[in-house]
Structure 1
Amino acid sequence: MDTRLSHQISLPLLPTRRDSKGFGVCALPSRRLRSAAVVATAGASRCDPGSSLNAPLEPRSAQGRFLSSVLQNKRQLFHFAAADELKQLADDRESAVSRKLLSSGSDEACLHRRIAQLKEHYSQIAVQDIMYMLIFYKFSEIRVPLVPKLSRCIYNGRLEIWPSKDWELESIHSIDALELIKEHVSAVIGLRVNSSVTDNWATTQIQKLHLGRVYTASILYGYFLKSATLRHQLECSLSDLQINQQRPIQFPKGPVFGCSFPTSTPQAFENRELKHLRHYISGFNPETLQRCAKPRSEEARNLIEKQSIALFGQEKGDEVVVTSFSSLKRLVLEAVAFGTFLWDTEEYVDGVYKLKENDNAEEEEESSSI
């Protein structure tokens, strides 16, 4: 499998709620609306998402169900509703922690400590639902429905996903990144990059368990591509600035966009080849590659796992399905896009609701090695 990683273009920032006078204030009384919201029902029992929110992962929290309803019934208010829900979660968690600290040493200390623990647990579920709905919204912007549970797409042992949506899923990436993504798709599904239409509709056999691992690895691939691209753009900008001003520039120390800088220097960018994403990434050492492919937060890591389980199920056996290369390509391209949108969503949410740092690298290492 091609282990090189690539990038995605930046997505517009979502609106944020700051204060009663600042820009981006959410005037939507989401808690009152939530109680009156009508949660949409699932689509038809087949592999056709239709117009409903037929995503494989169903929201478990009131916040997730509320945003699902807003997205269908009041789409223009979705970003404001999401910002308001995040702010409410952050405020509630902060209040619970404050009460726990204030009650320290009192008879109520044990009670408030337990309340804070329960609040943290509930907030984890709610914020993951919000992140998932934000990702779902990004897919809806490019008119790509998420593939529903694969059990709905398998008939007599054959898996078929339609429509393919290749163009839409590729349109979110830069030219440099798309070149690497096509190579990744070719490597993991065993089809050459410039395949014909006939080749795409040819059939192959694949273990469902292996397909799930490929999907997870492709999410991490897309996640890395976004991080690597932003770092590449930043280094190129700093290099161009130094050349224009003819004076040295100090590169930032420590993590930038979730990764520390590699050993490349501004002078290295005088070589035009290093201006290309492919050559830039080829200069990463193994440690940098691993660090950049690892989700920065526990919430993002959990969301990747939950999405994969919801899509493929919990089967541990060696079930084999017959499918077309077109369907395999659809799944891999969706996974790469999911990773791209996850990076953007994680960055936005962390600015409103502080996410937990991800200290568990074992799963990412295993997935990245597929």
Structure 2
Amino acid sequence: MQNYCSFYIGKLAVGPDKGKSRGFVVRCCGQSSENLAPIAPLQLESPAGQLLTQILQTHPHLLPAAIDQQLENLQNDRDAQKAETPSSSQDLLLYRRIAEVREKERRKALEEILYCLIVQKFVENNISMIQKISPSSDPTGRVDSWPNQEQKLESVHSREAFEMIQSHLSLVLGERLVAPLQTMIEISKVKLGKLYAASIMYGYFLRRVDQRYQLEQAMKTLPEDLGQKTAGFQGPVPQSPFWDPDSLIQIPADEDDVASYDEGESYKLRSYIMYLDAETLQRYATIRSREAMPLIEKQTQALFGRPDIRVTDGGALEALNDEIVSITFSGLTMLVLEAVAFGSFLWDAEDYVESKYSFLNS
């Protein structure tokens, strides 16, 4: 069965018609989205999200124009709502309720537009996203059947940022980092989910601070005493009962950082982060948009499932449906690298959307 979709792309007229708006409608037909291999684990629900998903699967070159059109639609709807005034006969409470529903729908669409922008980044870099982690038919119970894409995942970061990511990995794996890549470990899915979500947060923070670092380096405005601080930085702590500090990463002082400063070599990103004051670091570790945190949770749940949470007699939280899975060090490395890339792409997606549709927290 063929499935049809369409969207309007506006254009600015030139020549005698300059100043007039004109455009064209793009229609695409192809397989039903149910028959197409999923590109990402999260299934989108809003009309905008479903449309963009199908375009990404069938006509990815049209996705940027489609996203711009959806953002324009959101802006037009928001402007129209601001211009509305309730009639004297209309129930004010009903009017406010309708306005709340429309705002909720816009936020849902915006959240899924952000997700499509993130997925597009993976597609552009020829990186296959990991799909839902399900019980394996492998006799060992191994769940990581995804390919090794370390070089591709490295290429989406600056050299300095990837050095930080390697430190992140060494702290995640600890002494096991030197073990053979095919060595198997057993770990709970809830703990894997914590690690994945925390790594998204780490990637988000790292992209943000790396952009500032690269800018200051290009403008030659890096502090002269960079590399002389030795305090570490505790990464951002997500507000979720199933994300804990054990899943997060500290940035320890590195003796090589001070040495490179003394020798007049290029500054390292690690030294730059440790130079920043606590208030700046906290600001950089804070998610900017209301849509981002639910998106991180949904992506994590799409991979690992939604934990069934209960409160114990002692007041602690535990997951009733947690299960132990087997994964290789190589698979765990790819999982963390994908999460860090997801966080970096989330920052980029927020920047792009903000340039078209103002939504970020001030």
* TM-score tier (shorter): 0.7 to 0.9
User: Which structure dedicates a bigger proportion of its chain to strand?
Assistant: 2
The reply to whether residue 93 of structure 1 matches residue 78 of structure 2 is yes
The reply to whether residue 135 of structure 1 matches residue 135 of structure 2 is no
Question: Which one has a bigger Cα radius of gyration?
Answer: 2
The reply to whether residue 289 of structure 1 matches residue 281 of structure 2 is yes
The reply to whether residue 217 of structure 1 matches residue 198 of structure 2 is yes
The two structures have a TM-score, normalised by structure 1, of 0.72
Query: Compared with structure 1, are the counterparts of its residues 62 and 234 closer, same or farther at alpha carbon in structure 2 (3 Å cutoff)?
Result: same
Query: Compared with structure 1, are the counterparts of its residues 88 and 272 closer, same or farther at alpha carbon in structure 2 (3 Å cutoff)?
Result: farther
After superposition, where does 1:157-306 map in structure 2 within 5 Å? 157-190=141-174, 195=178, 199-239=180-220, 272=264, 275-306=267-298
SS in 2 for 1:229: helix
Match of 2:96 in 1: 113
Query: Aligned partner of 1:124: which letter?
Result: R
Q: Is the 8 A contact 2:161 2:269 kept in 1?
A: yes
Query: Aligned partner of 1:29: which letter?
Result: V
Query: Aligned partner of 1:87: which letter?
Result: E
Match of 2:229 in 1: none
Unaligned runs of 5+ in 2: 1-8, 15-20, 225-260, 308-318
Match of 1:6 in 2: none
Query: Compared with structure 1, are the counterparts of its residues 241 and 340 closer, same or farther at alpha carbon in structure 2 (3 Å cutoff)?
Result: closer
Q: Which of 35, 38, 59 is the matching residue for 1:53? A: 38
CA RMSD, 1 decimal: 3.2
Q: Is the 8 A contact 2:216 2:222 kept in 1?
A: no
Q: Is the 8 A contact 2:13 2:22 kept in 1?
A: no
Query: Aligned partner of 2:341: which letter?
Result: A
Give the CA deviation at 1:213. Answer: 0.5
Q: Which of 20, 25, 32 is the matching residue for 1:29? A: 25
Query: Compared with structure 1, are the counterparts of its residues 190 and 206 closer, same or farther at alpha carbon in structure 2 (3 Å cutoff)?
Result: farther
Query: Compared with structure 1, are the counterparts of its residues 170 and 152 closer, same or farther at alpha carbon in structure 2 (3 Å cutoff)?
Result: farther
Match of 2:6 in 1: none
Give the CA deviation at 1:336. Answer: 0.3
SS in 2 for 1:149: coil
Query: Aligned partner of 1:305: which letter?
Result: E
The reply to whether residue 147 of structure 1 matches residue 139 of structure 2 is no
SS in 2 for 1:58: coil
Question: 1-side partners of 2:145 and 2:169: how far apart?
Answer: 16
Query: Compared with structure 1, are the counterparts of its residues 73 and 105 closer, same or farther at alpha carbon in structure 2 (3 Å cutoff)?
Result: same
Query: Aligned partner of 1:121: which letter?
Result: K
The two structures have a TM-score, normalised by structure 2, of 0.74
Kindly tell me the number of residue pairs found equivalent between the two proteins. Answer: 300
Give the CA deviation at 1:356. Answer: 5.0
The range that moved more, 321-330 or 64-73, is: 64-73
SS in 1 for 2:33: coil
Query: Aligned partner of 1:211: which letter?
Result: L
Q: Is the 8 A contact 1:215 1:335 kept in 2?
A: yes
Question: 2-side partners of 1:275 and 1:167: how far apart?
Answer: 24
Query: Compared with structure 1, are the counterparts of its residues 233 and 272 closer, same or farther at alpha carbon in structure 2 (3 Å cutoff)?
Result: farther
Unaligned runs of 5+ in 1: 1-16, 44-51, 244-268, 359-370
Query: Compared with structure 1, are the counterparts of its residues 42 and 221 closer, same or farther at alpha carbon in structure 2 (3 Å cutoff)?
Result: farther
Give the CA deviation at 1:110. Answer: 3.7
Question: 2-side partners of 1:287 and 1:241: how far apart?
Answer: 18
Query: Compared with structure 1, are the counterparts of its residues 28 and 61 closer, same or farther at alpha carbon in structure 2 (3 Å cutoff)?
Result: farther
